[in-house]
Structure 1
Amino acid sequence: MAGTKTNAGRFFEDYAVGQTIHHAVPRTVKGGERALYHALYPARHALYSSDQFARSCGMPFSPMDDLITFHIVFGKTVPDVSLNAVANLGYAQGRWLAPVWPGDTLRSVSEVIGVKQNSNGKTGVVYVRTAGYNQDDTKVLEYVRWVMVRKRDINAPAPAEVVPNLPKALSLGQLHIPDDLDFTNYDFTLAGEPHRWGDYEIGEKIDHVDGVTVEEAEHMMATRLWQNTAKVHFDTSARPDGSRLIYGGHVISMARALSFNGLANAQMIVGLNGGAHANPCLSGDTIRAWSEVLDKADTSAPGVGAIRLRLVATKGGDPFKLKGEDGKYLPDVLLDLDYWALMPK
């Protein structure tokens, strides 16, 4: 007798606006996550590398990397949101609301805020707002993402279309600056570069120079680390071309780590204004990155400025080129990410 205890995941017609999904399984994060993260990516930002450096910046010790928090909270949602995804399409309204410390336990909750069936009738786009909480029920992260999901039955009627109105950027008042963060005694020598907040100009572009070729084993190890179970990252039969699609978060972390060369003092990501995975990334691609300064803002924290950056990951081509004359992303562009970071003044 065939069993019915396994879960094939949700399909497009299983989502409805207003639905709340409590995701399994909570995850306690410790130094192992940090060690693996720094092994997978060339991550070198000092605040996430040194307890002593973090204490000089007013923090009790070094918090977990901001993108570790993102990946863990995101990974919890995959079995319920994107197990049957064709692709993760974009992000908006992301806010890091509290530091995550070694020993914290994270869980995720999502609310469906939009649905839109595609014209082909075979897939649809689902919009969710996800929040990550620690063991004290403190919200540590929230963000919106939208994902293209297959339909179980192509003859199922299309739902009423609801597309959320998402502002293009967070305001300075929406950004959370950790309590006691203080960059007045910031050590630029130990951080690796002398460039302060005031040294960057709006419109300035930075080529981060270095590149990393992505290998099959490492991107699957990273995706398993975050307990992301999306089939397209592991199962070659899940995509028509027989390739494994590299988790978009892997590209984000790689590009952020590469941005150290030129932005070593952009220490903390505190806001995610928007993001798009412009083209698929596959094993063998060499990821490179460049950034553009979009905006700057002063903050009330001592010695701390906020800088808004566009981070672009590519797999070749000329730096600083993003879209063609038709307004579409160039084929070599992998990621277009718009975020706020904190930097010493």
Structure 2
Amino acid sequence: MAKTNPGRFFEDYAIGQVIDHAVPRTVGQGERALYHALYPARHALYSSDEFARGCGLPQSPLDDLAAFHVVFGKTVPDVSLNAVANLGYAEGRWLKPVYPGDTLRASSEVIGLKQNSNGKTGVVYVRTRGMNQAGETVMEYVRWVMVRKNDVDAPAPETVVPELKRVLSVDDLVIPDGLDFSNYDFTLAGEPHRWGDYEVGEQIDHVDGVTIEEAEHMMATRLWQNTAKVHFDATFRPDGQRLIYGGHVISMARALSFNGLANAQMIVGLNGGAHANPCFSGLTVKAWSEVLDKAETSVPGVGAVRLRLVATRGGAPFRLKGDDGKYLPEVMLDLDYWALMPV
């Protein structure tokens, strides 16, 4: 029998199927150092143990998106090894901080299937959970992926498209135990702007840009143990280019958003997201944000702000879609998330 893993194809999935992903990963200070080397990440809560302790946490956690990448990477060999594209996200929640020394593993359940009209591909919906060494769920999210069929004559499954929340409510968000922004140090955080200073509808140009390097992308993809062929193998795409991992763009845009949103410290909810256009090395990522909503929480000094984060490869900020309703060609990422901010 074959010893190698060709990855799952669309016809290999079934509704209710649970996939426990291989290779748990113990994370440490090395992951933080590499994450901050790959992206211009400067949010104080993830940079300083002392700052984190001043906010009621025992130490500085691993960046939310770094933990997301580790969990996401576990799923790739089983979910998206033969993917054409990662299409979207929903119902993402960070449930517990991940600290150096924690061991992460992942499990996914197939919750939706829909064959495309061309008969050659289909969309697979999975709900993924990342767990720590104690079996506690530290995060969960839904994503849907377009996957190739290996046998185009395989019968189409019954179409099941899950009903997903368009937006998480503030009651869906989990605030880490002990978090308290009552004595928040705005000087050390880098900006004076607090929750009350932002208005719904406000747009922020994050000004800075970072050019994507092939070497850094490959280092990041290997760091997260993401084995998707489109990221590694230059012969896998007709144009001979390796596609930049969408999470790399997410982290780059989030890091750029520090300039104007330095106090949006913790990501706790992912409402939705779209990788609108592909990213390749040599392109320069810029970012802008829009405040979509705000909510009070019951935790001292902590407010929640819902943000749209858009990554572009040039062009004027605050332009998202054309008159036809389609994303403009310069838009690479449209991400909708909840973050915690001092009031």
Provide the TM-score with structure 2 as the length reference. 0.99
Amino acid at match of 2:269: G
CA drift at 1:155: 1.3
SS in 2 for 1:87: strand
Q: Which residue of 2 aligns with 1:87?
A: 85
What SS is found at the alignment partner of 1:237? coil
- Give distance in 2, aligned partners of 1:179 and 1:159: 43
| Aligned partner of 1:272 among 250, 270, 273 | 270
Confirm whether residue 222 of structure 1 aligns to residue 220 of structure 2: yes
Distance 1:58 1:4 in 2: 52
Displacement of 1:88 in angstroms is 0.5
Letter in 1 for 2:6: A
Q: CA deviation at 1:209?
A: 0.3
Please give the alpha-carbon distance, in whole angstroms, between the structure 2 residues aligned to 1:121 and 1:289: 37
Kindly report which structure 2 residues correspond to 1:46-65, keeping only aligned pairs within 5 A, or say none.
46-65=44-63
Which amino acid in structure 2 is aligned with residue 159 of structure 1? P
Identity of matched residues, %: 81
Separation in 2, partners of 1:240, 1:85? 15
Deviant stretches of 4+, over 2 Å: none
Count of residues paired in the alignment: 343
Aligned to 1:140: 138
Cα deviation for residue 157 of structure 1 reads 1.2
TM-score when normalising by structure 1: 0.99
1:215-254 equivalences under 5 Å are: 215-254=213-252
Please, which of 204, 207, 217 is the counterpart of residue 206 of structure 1? 204
Aligned match of 2:323? 325
Deviations for 1:222-264, whole angstroms, at most 9, x for unmatched residues? 0100000000001011111110000000000000000000000
> Residues 149-228 of structure 1: matches in 2 within 5 Å?
149-228=147-226
Q: Secondary structure at the match of 1:236?
A: coil
TM superposition shift of 1:272: 0.1
1:29 pairs with 2:27: yes
Are 1:68 and 2:66 counterparts? yes
Structure-to-structure mapping, 1:331-342, within 5 angstroms? 331-342=329-340
Letter of the 2:290 counterpart: E
- Secondary structure of the residue aligned to 2:74 is helix
Q: Given the alignment, which residue of 122, 125, 135 partners 2:123?
A: 125
In the TM superposition, what is the alpha-carbon distance from 1:176 to its structure 2 partner?
0.3
Deviations 1:176-205 (A, max 9, x none): 000110001000000000000000000000
Deviation of 1:67 (Å): 0.5
Aligned counterpart, 1:258: 256
Provide the residue aligned with 2:113 in structure 1: 115
1:147 CA displacement: 0.4
How far does residue 343 in structure 1 lie from its aligned partner after superposition?
A: 0.2
In structure 1, stretches of 5+ residues that fail to align are: none
- In structure 2, runs of 5+ residues without a counterpart are none
Write the distance in 2 (CA, Å) between the matches of 1:85 and 1:236.
15
Write the distance in 1 (CA, Å) between the matches of 2:238 and 2:90.
29
RMSD: 0.6
